[in-house]
Amino acid sequence: MTFNDIFKSSFLENISSVSLLDLLLALILAFCLGLFIFLVYKKTYQGVMYSASFGATLLALTMITTVVILAVTSNVVLSLGMVGALSIVRFRTAIKEPLDIAFLFWSIAVGIVLAAGMIPLAVIGSVIIGVILLVFVNKKSRKNPYILVLSCLDQAGEKTARDFLMTQGMRYVVKSKSAQKGNVELNLELCLPDGGTDFINALSEMDGVSSAVLVSYNGDYLG
C-alpha cells in the first residue's frame, strides 16, 4: 500500500463530481428565483401579521433544494440513500394558510428544476406563476367580505338593524345567531359597497342595539 492509496477513497473522488462553476451558477440562480418568490409572497400576503421568517424560509428552501438535487444527480448511490434519509424527517410546524403550501411547493420545485439544468423552465415558469398570483390573489383581497358582530336587546332591535342594512344596499348572510334573555347576538357576513364603515356608528346608536363590531374576514369562519 502506497502513500497515495491511503488517501484514495470514494469520498475524495466525489469532490470533483460537481464543478465549482456549476455549483456557484446554480446557487446564484436559486437565490435570484428564491428572492422573487419571497417578494411575490410578501406582495400577496393576506394575513394579519406578516411572518418575515416564513419569507426567508422560502428563499433558503430554494437554495437548499438546489444543493440537495445537485448532490443526488451526481451520484446514483447517493440518491438512493438520500431518499431513505429524507423519508424519516418530520415537520411539526402547522401551515395555517392554504396559499403558503403553494409557495413552499413552488420553492422546492424551482430548486429541483434548477439543479436538473432546466434553467429556462425554472425562470419562465416562475415569472408566469408570480404574475398569476399577483393578479388573482390581489384581486381577491380587494373583495374580501366582513363579519359584523351585532348585539341586540331583543327581536325588535334585530329587525331594526337588519332593515337599516337593507336600506344601505348591503347584502348579508347570517353565519350564526345566539339568543339569550335580554340579548341576541348575530354574526353577519357582508360586503361593503363603497368600503365605508361609517354605518357602524349609526348602527350602534339605534334603539335596541347594544353594540356593533366590524371584523375583516379572509374566508376562514371563526364563529
Digit-coded pLDDT (tens) for 35-58: 999 999 988 887 667 778 888 889
Q: Is 111 helix (H, G, I), strand (E, B) or coil?
A: helix
Give the model's pLDDT for residue 121: 92
Q: Are residues 126 and 189 in the same domain?
A: no
Q: Are residues 114 and 155 in the same domain?
A: no
Compute the distance between CA of residue 16 and CA of residue 24 in angstroms, rounded to an integer.
14
User: Containing domain of residue 49, as a range?
Assistant: 3-141
Compute the distance between CA of residue 217 and CA of residue 148 in angstroms, rounded to an integer.
10
pLDDT tens-digit readout, 87-139:
555 666 667 777 888 998 999 999 989 988 898 999 999 999 999 998 888 76
**H helix runs in the chain, sequence order:** 3-7, 10-13, 20-44, 52-74, 76-86, 98-115, 119-141, 155-167, 199-204
Residue that terminates a domain, selected from 141, 167, 191: 141
Q: Are residues 150 and 83 in the same domain?
A: no
Any residues with CB less than 8 A from the CB of 206 and at least 6 apart, and which? 157, 160, 161, 164
pTM above 0.95, yes or no: no
Using a 10 angstrom Cβ sphere, with 0-12 exposed, 13-18 middle and 19 or more buried, the burial of residue 145 is: middle
Total domains in the chain come to 2
Q: Are residues 73 and 151 in the same domain?
A: no
Task: Answer whether residue 101 is part of any domain.
Answer: yes
